[in-house]
Amino acid sequence: MCGIVAYTGPRDAVPILTEGLARLEYRGYDSAGIAVVGRSEDLRVRKTEGRVAELTASLPARFKGSTGIGHTRWATHGEPSDENAHPHVAGGVAVVHNGIIENADELRAKLEADGVVLTSETDSEVLPHLIARSSAEELEDAVREALSQIVGTYGIAVVDTRHPGVLVVARNGSPVVIGIGEKEMFAASDVAALVRYTRQVVHLDDGELATLRADGFRTSTLDARATSKEPSVIETEEAAYDAEGYTHFMRKEIHEQPAAVERALRGRLDGRFHTAHLGGLDLDPREARAIRRVKILGCGSAYYAGQVGAQLIEELARIPADAEPASEFRYRNPVVEADTLYIAVSQSGETYDTLAAVQELRRKGGRVLGVVNAVGSAIGRECDGGVYLHAGPEIAVASTKAWTSTAVVFALLALHLGRIHDLSPADGRRIADGLRALPGQIEEILRQEDRIAALAGDLARYRSMLFVGRVRGWPVAREGAQKLKEVSYVHAEAYPASELKHGPLALVNPDLPTVAIVPDDELLDKNRSTLGEIRARQGRVVTIGHRGPGEDAIVVPKSEPELDAILLTIPLQLLAYHAAVALGHDVDKPRNLAKSVTVD
Ligand code: F6R
């Protein structure tokens, strides 16, 4: 997804902008550009279709300036091209924009009727023209005037040669973070671009603007009311944003899971009452007992992790629970009930569909908790309370450690709610012990990587694969198919194993292998008979479960049955990763995908 970085201060902005853009590459993009206000108060702009490294290499030595903006673009309006790349310029004004301007056609037509020549096909290009046409004395007021004409979402950064040393940024639906330095200021769409320079940050809220000068910043609303913001400190080390010797971030993040799970559990298990404490929940036992239903919302992998969560809550707390794609929920005018606990799940905390679902719920008076990884993100701030994953930054587009940490946090929440309801101390202890064992058990699975890689290399020759699982194995199968599709582009379909004979069995043939999730639980016999049906039709079956041996069997350590989904998913991440590597794909930046989908 598009990225923004901006700087004003005593240093040359150019290396800071290009370095920041390189840090945002993981989000996915197709073109990049920067604009700086030079020493003689002239605007210098360079933009190109292609990589940040190409942009950096193309900059002449004299391309310098102490205030500037940079952008990585992921095409929405208009194909990837030099003209459509940001920044967009009008006179001395340059703008970078994330988001979508819905009334762009109308605004473009008005500008053109006034004789303005627009040079790109983008919605964003109207912004610098609207700002440049304003007669306001302050850049902030000119930006405010322009934004009052915009319908849609934006995160923007603006420079203007008439106001050297001034940066204006604004947010509505697309993240903007201000970084506070020593007599210098930064801004970006993601803290990843800032950590090298500062740890002190301020997150803008929707409908907020900020004017940044080297010596400080001020924030206000779109209708010019001053706001006051407390800086927060980025806890994550800069090294967490590096691949640290791994060939890909996805592999690094798969291997970080034992540590990520330990962090998710740290300080949250209570050995005395065999329960869990989740500080941010803000739910006293009486309120917890009054919950009649739990509804979990998220998109993509976050939704599948939510499905694991719903099963855990129903099993351990005996509260009816289900998960639904936030992207669907927000559009279907849902019935919102006072005694339902709504939980929004998001790694990035910025997914627009999930944020919109949270806002719709809050508007209707629903109580929403967040299960979020990115601290300070929009969803985290919008919710009534919640739990952070503490998984550390997830850079690879395909989610791995955040998925696992989400499932672990749901197990903690289910344990907490269960012990308030009817889960016995003995069962509470059993689940808590099971959770404590997870990091070591994940290590055990990771030690099988070479075998899984060999199997993945072999499976990569098929054009399509089926993933099946029953009840606890069903969200695991969905997540496994999702991972494979995303990074290897092998077509993968997930089905509940119980549904096979109601349709998809017709697909089974020697060219369609099935990956089956077969834990050693009360459904093992049922699963075995499904696998028999597949094998009887010459379908190859790869099993992920607790029993081997066999070339096509991956065996994971036994956990408590309720926690099985967590361990059973890890081999599927490795399978997808190594299939993608075997096929020679850019694993960390799969085609057509972005790390966080901050547009509608
Ligand atoms: C899959 C993946 C996506 C995200 C989804 C939600 O590997 O990464 O399906 O899970 O776009 O993203 P977040 O969790 O940031 O809301």
Q: Is 50 left (phi over 0), alpha (psi -120 to 50) or beta?
A: left
- Ligand 1 centroid–CA 324 distance in Å is 14
Per-residue burial over 178-208, b if 16 or more Cβ lie within 10 Å, else e, is bbbbeebbbbbbbbbbbbebbbebbbbebeb
596 lines ligand 1 (CB under 6 A): yes
Residue 363: CB atoms within 10 A of its CB come to 9
What residue has token string 């929405």?
A: 76
- Which residues are tagged catalytic? 2, 595
User: Letter for the amino acid at 524?
Assistant: L
405 lines ligand 1 (CB under 6 A): no
Give the CATH H-level superfamily of domain 243-441. Glucose-6-phosphate isomerase like protein; domain 1 (3.40.50.10490)
Ligand 1 pocket test target in 26, 74, 248, 299 with most atoms within 8 Å of CB: 299
Write out the H or E segment, with its range, that includes residue 464. strand 464-469
- Ligand 1 centroid–CA 52 distance in Å is 24
For CA atoms 429, 432, 438, 440, give the dihedral sign.
negative
φ, ψ for residue 127, nearest 5 deg = -60, -55
What digits encode the pLDDT tens for the residues 288-329? 999 999 999 999 999 999 999 999 999 999 999 999 999 999
Q: Which atom, in ligand 1's list, is nearest to the CA of 301?
A: 10
Q: Which atom, in ligand 1's list, is nearest to the CA of 483?
A: 7
Residue 426, helix vs strand vs coil: helix
486 lines ligand 1 (CB under 6 A): yes
Give domain 3-241's CATH number out of 3.60.20.10, 3.40.50.2000, 2.60.40.2310, 1.20.1260.10.
Answer: 3.60.20.10
- Ligand 1 centroid–CA 399 distance in Å is 6
CA distance 430 to 414: 13
Pairing mode of beta strands 514-518, 541-545: parallel
CA distance 545 to 521: 10
* Averaged confidence pLDDT in the chain: 94
13 lines ligand 1 (CB under 6 A): no
- Ligand 1 centroid–CA 289 distance in Å is 31
Residue 474: CB atoms within 10 A of its CB come to 24
CA distance 462 to 21: 37
- Ligand 1 centroid–CA 402 distance in Å is 9
pLDDT of residue 1: 67
Per-residue burial over 25-57, b if 16 or more Cβ lie within 10 Å, else e, is bbbbbbbbbbbbbbeeeebbbbbbbebbeebbe
**Contact criterion met (CB below 8 Å) for 5 and 52:** no
Whether 448-594 and 243-441 are alike in CATH topology: the answer is yes
Give the domain ranges of the chain. Answer: 3-241, 243-441, 448-594
pLDDT of residue 344: 97
pLDDT of residue 449: 97
Residue 61: CB atoms within 10 A of its CB come to 5
Write out the H or E segment, with its range, that includes residue 569. helix 564-582
pLDDT of residue 77: 75
- Beta-carbon contacts of 49 under 8 Å, excluding residues fewer than 6 positions away, are 30, 31, 80, 81, 82, 85
CA distance 541 to 517: 10
Give the CATH H-level superfamily of domain 448-594. Glucose-6-phosphate isomerase like protein; domain 1 (3.40.50.10490)
CA distance 542 to 598: 36
What residue has token string 């292998």?
A: 513
φ, ψ for residue 74, nearest 5 deg = -120, 110
299 lines ligand 1 (CB under 6 A): yes
Count of all residues that appear for the chain in the document: 600
351 lines ligand 1 (CB under 6 A): yes
Question: Half-sphere exposure of 294 toward its Cβ, with a 13 Å CA cutoff?
Answer: 30
CA distance 96 to 128: 9
Beta strands in 326-448 (DSSP E): 340-346, 367-372, 385-388
What digits encode the pLDDT tens for the residues 334-349? 999 999 999 999 999 9
Per-residue pLDDT tens listing for the chain (600 residues): 689 999 999 999 999 999 999 988 877 788 999 999 988 889 999 999 988 999 999 999 899 999 999 999 987 777 888 888 999 999 999 999 999 999 999 999 999 999 999 999 999 999 999 999 999 999 999 999 999 999 999 999 999 999 999 999 999 988 999 999 999 999 999 898 999 999 999 999 999 999 999 999 999 999 999 999 999 998 888 888 888 889 999 999 999 999 999 999 999 999 999 999 998 888 889 999 999 999 999 999 999 999 999 999 999 999 999 999 999 999 998 999 999 999 999 999 989 999 999 999 999 999 999 999 998 888 988 898 999 999 999 999 999 999 999 999 999 999 999 999 999 999 999 999 999 999 999 999 999 999 999 999 999 999 999 999 999 999 999 999 999 999 999 999 999 999 998 998 899 999 999 999 999 999 999 999 999 999 999 999 999 999 977 889 999 999 999 999 999 999 999 999 999 999 999 898 888 787 777 767
CA distance 241 to 396: 10
Pure H helices in 25-148: 52-57, 104-113, 126-132, 139-147
Q: What end-to-end distance do the CA atoms of the chain give, in Å?
A: 12
Bond into 87 cis (ω within 30): yes
354 lines ligand 1 (CB under 6 A): yes
